Structure 1
Amino acid sequence: MGVKLEVFRMIVYLTFPVAMFWISNQADWFESYVVQRKRELWPPEKEGQHQELEEFKERMRKRREEKLLRAAQQSS
């Protein structure tokens, strides 16, 4: 029974990773699960979204500069 058990264990140990590799590299599976999930998590940017982000960053920078300027004037 020892040799048969070892052969069975070796088949299982080799078959499982090969099967998982084969399944995960199927183009249909990749497209249907991985790409769709990525689009759900990180949707494509809209036209004005980048411009809005830049404007927000500029407003925050100006606020921070004004706050630092006021703090510097008060300490003088």
Structure 2
Amino acid sequence: MGGWLLEVGKMALYMAFPVGMFHFFNQPEYFEEWVVKTRRAIFPPDSKTHREELEACMRQMQQRRDRELMRQLEESDES
């Protein structure tokens, strides 16, 4: 057998390797650029015209839904 020194060395390696990998891969400078680039690709910054078009569409949908609800209420009142 290897003896107690080999066992201590193996245990040190078993404990140091995951801690070292965690420390290495948890450094923000290694992945900050990648995260920012990916976030911009998924969620591009809003432009003013895009935001205005989105709000106009939301208003149209709300008005259409309100008209439909009013029509349904009037039909139910007549019945």
1:60 CA drift (Å): 0.8
Any residues of structure 2 matched to 1:1-76 within 5 Å, and which? Answer: 1=2, 3=4, 4-5=6-7, 7-27=9-29, 29-76=30-77
Q: Aligned Cα RMSD in Å?
A: 2.0
Amino-acid identity (%)? 23
Q: In structure 2, do the counterparts of structure 1 residues 25 and 61 end up closer, same or farther at CA, with 3 Å as the change threshold?
A: same
**Residues 19-47 of structure 1 deviation map (CA, whole Å, 9 limit, x = unaligned):** 233233141x2233211111111111122
Answer with 1 or 2: which has the greater Rg.
2
- Which residue identity is paired with 1:68? L
Amino acid at match of 2:41: E
Distance 1:24 1:33 in 2: 14
Measured in 2, the distance between the counterparts of 1:50 and 1:16 equals: 46
Unaligned runs of 5+ in 1: none
Label 1:61 to 1:26 Cα distance change in 2 as closer, same or farther (>3 A).
Answer: closer
User: Looking at both structures, which has the greater relative contact order when contacts are Cα pairs under 8 Å and sequence separation is at least 6?
Assistant: 1
- Output the TM-score relative to the length of structure 2: 0.73
The count of residues paired between Structure 1 and Structure 2 equals 75
